[in-house]
Amino acid sequence: MSASPSPPPRFLAPSQVAELLSIEVDEVIELVYAGRLRGSQLGSPSRWRIEEPSLSEYLAEQSEEARRMALWHQADAASFPEVWGSQRGHGI
């Protein structure tokens, strides 16, 4: 049995990505230049196209970042003096 080749990546227009992310097309292109999305200029005349798998990776990164920020905010909220009492950190 030979391994079946993986399908080639599907490409999306920047306007499609912008709609999915609720951002402007210029912001999508900025994400490509920043390396957060993989894209290429394809066709003649050349037009930007974004690899669909990179969009999934970007969304996963955003979800992980949101999860970490929520944990950080929980930890930060737990450090308020009213949680620990006014004696904490005063050498007692």
Closest-CA residue to 48 (of 29, 21, 33): 29
Does CATH place domain 11-77 in 2.40.10? no
Residue 81: is its pLDDT beyond 70?
Answer: no
Q: Residue 4 gets which letter from DSSP? A: P
Greater confidence, 1 or 57?
A: 57
User: Cα separation of 55 and 39, whole Å?
Assistant: 10
Question: Domains of the chain: which residue ranges?
Answer: 11-77
Residue 87: is its pLDDT beyond 60?
Answer: no
In this prediction, residues 88-92 reach a mean pLDDT of 53
Note the pLDDT tens digit of each residue in 11-56: 999 999 999 999 999 999 999 999 999 999 988 999 999 999 999 9
Cβ(17)–Cβ(49) under 8 Å? no
SS3 13: coil
And the tokens for 73? Answer: 């905010």
- pLDDT of res. 70: 86
